[in-house]
Amino acid sequence: MASDERTAEILKGLHDSVVEYEEEKTVEIANAAVEEGVDAFEAIMGGLAKGMETVGDLYVRQEYFVPELLLCADALYAGLEVLKPHLKAESHAEPRKIILGVVEGDIHDIGKNLVKVMFDAAGWQVIDLGADVKIERFAEEQKKCGAQVVGLSALMTTSMLAIPRIIKTLRDADTNVRVLVGGAPLNPDIAASYGADGYADNAGEAVQQAVKLLDQA
């Protein structure tokens, strides 16, 4: 079990190696995290995801451009491959299913992929529709597989406008399905005004919110 000081050092190492798009170093530090008993959830959220947040800031400040963003994402995914199998797996007597997707017109899928990892680890069956998903597709898939929750991710103020339209198609098709939304431009008020049942700020919280929605159902 790593000391608090060593854990902080490893989290910073993961953060920095994502920001500096050093894929091999990210893998090396992720392996050290596993070997030294750093919690995989903490390493993903406090190291890799935090690094990608910093990358977002650098992009906004025009210090990083698209090529750097993509290289940073590669480093994040490489670290994720190492850490993912070490997330504490949960199992449930009753299968819990969630459909996940990034809304139409939006190809930002890094956050959604982190959300997927957390649901996988929490023992949910995840039907991942990918990114830039057509509005009607969510209701079509929900009808096919009977998922109790549909999770929508949107990263742009333009693409998030698809959310109320998707929710309408879901409500028209199955009144019982619960809709969880997330992504940087959203907040609880916008989510509620769109008719969503829940909102989550990050990947870890997404699972907690989905469980809450099922408990309320």
Residues in contact with ligand B1M by CB under 6 A are: 49, 52-53, 56, 59-60, 66, 69, 73, 105-112, 114-115, 151-153, 155-158, 180-185, 200, 202-203, 206
Q: Which is nearer to ligand B1M, 6 or 108 (CB)?
A: 108
Cα-based torsion angle of the residue sequence 91, 96, 102, 108 in order, rounded to the nearest 10 degrees: -10
Structural tokens at position 175: 């009144």
**Residue 36 vs 58, nearer CB to ligand B1M:** 58
Order across the sheet with 178-182: list the strands: 125-128, 97-102, 149-153, 178-182, 198-199
Element (H, E) at 178: strand 178-182
Taking the alpha carbons at both ends of the chain, their separation in whole angstroms is: 39
Q: H-helix or E-strand containing 199?
A: strand 198-199
Question: 115 vs 170, which CB is nearer to ligand B1M?
Answer: 115
Q: Min. distance of Cβ 155 from ligand B1M in angstroms?
A: 4
Smallest distance, ligand B1M to C-beta of residue 16, A: 16
Of 37 and 145, nearer to ligand B1M (C-beta) is 145
Minimum distance of ligand B1M from residue 160's CB (angstroms): 8
